[in-house]
Amino acid sequence: KVDEDVYYVGSRHWDRPIFDELLELPKGTSYNSYLISGSQKTALIDSVDPCKKHELLRNLDVLNVKNIDYIIANHAEQDHSGSIPAVLERYPQAKVVTNEKCKSLLIDLLDINEDRFMIINDNDTLSLGDKTLQFVFTPWVHWPETMSVYLVEKKMLFTCDFFGSHIATSKIFGPKDEKLVYEGAKRYYAEIMMPFRKNIQKNIQKVEELNPSMILPGHGVVYKNPQFIIDAYKKWISDNVDNEALIIYISMHGSTKELVDYLSDALIEQGVYARPYNIAQSSLGEIAMDLVDAATVIFASPFVLAGVHPKIITTAYLANALRPKTKFAGIIGSFGWGGKGVEHIKNNLTNLSVELFEPVYIKGKPKPEDFKKITDLAKQIADKHKEIGILG
């Protein structure tokens, strides 16, 4: 029970290791589905990943749910929609209530029959008797059809992926440790929502106007204090960056690492927070989290197979796809006998509105004149951070 007549019927996936075969899930995840029981009608808000449909159906049995009138589909992605066909089969009179775009995706993805849908528009309401659902379109978090639903009388906002976090916890309202909740939500934002930062800015405004008493996402914890997550999102989606330089590197024989270590020290000396990540060992999720706020990102790579290291290209590609608000970028590294590739990194950063520093590529083991170039780069980074007012 989340509140009077509002029940959690979702599923925790404690041991799911990865999402989209890309994103690590160090805390597992959950697929949150909610049942709202009105005096006349009953609504299910989203379903669960198909691998957990038996848990959803069992939860409905436990609550002795004889009838579901409406299945609200806030989002067509299968981790929320994938068990809708099973619910439709169990409750033959139920209608899938969603927007036109979501309906079209659900037909494509799940082959749901056209006559099982009820189409709603932005701000439409649906009565459950003593309770009212209001549909609030919140597109592009992170698909085009995404929406939220507002339980008017209780001021509860069901947001699906929006404000979600990949955390499996037996505490619906989250563990006491706010840092855990914050970091889970930040990782989720970084990996899934960040490319849609501008759309989220508009959606946050809509959410604030509603002034919800509770935010109930489709993954992770329910927020009894919505301002906590709204304020966190406002920081992440703002144009403000932190005085931080990420150095994403890989090194084969140590020369590139020497440059990275020297640059980190030089940045610290200049008052810039440096965060090197050796991508041979680092988690992409942690890099994504740091990309949320960092003012500068540096890619550091040796040459191999006559080009920069493929792992650096992969990470640059991912950073480019995540579209962080990073303002400055640089490329450094070491080569032995030659090769091309600086352009290859640059070509993978086209989505970023960054000012690029002059690349520093050196031959072999770094020499005093090479370290001098790195010192100069650190100084340029610090100067830029001063220019935009994040370094005193």
Closer CB to ligand FEO, 143 or 273, in the complex: 143
**What does the alpha-carbon distance between residue 392 and residue 390 come to, in Å, rounded to a whole number?**
7
Pairing of strands 132-137, 147-151: antiparallel
Q: Which stretch binds ligand FEO (CB under 6 A): 10-18, 73-81, 120-128, 305-313?
A: 73-81
**What does the alpha-carbon distance between residue 116 and residue 95 come to, in Å, rounded to a whole number?**
5
**Binding of residue 52 to ligand FEO (CB under 6 A):** no
**Binding of residue 46 to ligand FEO (CB under 6 A):** no
CB of 145 to ligand FEO, least distance (A): 10
Work out the burial of residue 51: count CB atoms within 10 Å of its CB; fewer than 13 is exposed, 13-18 middle, 19 or more buried. Answer: middle
- Sole residue written with tokens 């855990």: 180
Closer CB to ligand FEO, 10 or 341, in the complex: 10
CB of 184 to ligand FEO, least distance (A): 14
How many angstroms separate the first and last alpha carbons of the chain?
50
**Binding of residue 385 to ligand FEO (CB under 6 A):** no
CB of 239 to ligand FEO, least distance (A): 25
**Binding of residue 161 to ligand FEO (CB under 6 A):** yes
Q: Which of 184, 218, 276, 333 binds ligand FEO (CB under 6 A)?
A: 218
Closer CB to ligand FEO, 77 or 293, in the complex: 77
**Positions 219 through 258 that interact with ligand FEO (CB under 6 A):** 219
Q: Which of 79, 191, 261, 290 binds ligand FEO (CB under 6 A)?
A: 79
Q: What is the DSSP string of 68-134?
A: --EEE-S--SHHHHTTHHHHHHHSTT-EEEE-HHHHHHHHHHH---GGGEEE--TT-EEE-SS-EEE
Contact 126, 133 (CB under 8 A): yes
Contact 25, 18 (CB under 8 A): yes
**What does the alpha-carbon distance between residue 156 and residue 223 come to, in Å, rounded to a whole number?**
10
Q: Which of 12, 80, 325, 384 binds ligand FEO (CB under 6 A)?
A: 80
Binding site for ligand FEO (CB under 6 A): 75, 77, 79-80, 142, 161, 218-219
